[in-house]
Amino acid sequence: MMENQEQQEFYPMPRIGDQAPDFTAMTTKGQIKFSDYAKDKWVVLFSHPADFTPVCTTEMSGFATRKKEFDELNTELVGLSIDSIHAHLGWVSNVKEKTGVYFDFPIIADLDMSVSKKYGMLQPNEAETAAVRAVFFIDPSKKIRLIMYYPLNVGRNMDEILRALKALQVSDSHKVALPLDWTPGQQVIVPPPKTLEEMEARNKETGIDRIDFYLSKKDLKL
């Protein structure tokens, strides 16, 4: 544990709306240059603290067993940890042998921590040499759209990762907002009016559930 926060190296924290930092890295599926990778697709880029550890094994298995759902959402998975490619290969084959689950997506071997540092995955007061559990939702234009950070000792929730990804895509394609706990099939929020004219039009609109001019919901056929 470092004693003085001011003495710590400063790592930038990417923000929602930023272009995803570019990198070239070795993965379990060969070298990737991120800006050329998964063109026209969404990417869920996620880090885990270490190979051959229990929580990480459950999380990676969760991504692997639900990969088809990510495929259906036009989304590529990319994992990362600060381990060697040999550790990754050993872990992937060990999990396959012991459980039958195969991590069929690239996992970055970020031994020099260059990608972890660019993405703010290194949070020294939580762990100095391991990446925290970060998830970056990156759209096809390579813009960061949503970020999750979890500590070392709490695993992520795969339902929430998939729900958030679907919500981002529905929000983009239908120009709507999604309320608390939204899941596909539930009503969506119609963007509130921005002028008095739009407000008067909204008040006369039919086919929507209008609580007041600023809060209206409608059904959406997906």
Dihedral angle computed from the Cα positions of residues 85, 90, 93 and 98, in that order, rounded to the nearest 10 degrees: -150
What are the distances in angstroms from CA 42 to CA 25, 64, 108, 147?
18, 17, 17, 14
Q: Which two tokens stand for residue 137?
A: 């939702």
Say whether 216 is catalytic.
no
| Distance of closest approach, residue 117 Cβ to ligand BEZ, in angstroms | 19
One of 152, 170, 188, 190 touching ligand BEZ (CB under 6 A) = 152
Q: Compare residues 61 and 114 and give the one whose CB is closer to ligand BEZ.
A: 61
Per rule CB under 6 A, is residue 56 in the interface with ligand BEZ? yes
Q: How far apart are CA 139 and CA 145, in angstroms?
A: 7
Helix and strand totals (H; E) in the chain: 6, 10
Give the x-and-dash track for 158-197 against ligand BEZ (CB under 6 A).
----------------------------------------
| Distance of closest approach, residue 87 Cβ to ligand BEZ, in angstroms | 13
Which residues bind to ligand BEZ, rule: CB under 6 A?
A: 49-50, 53-56, 130, 152-153
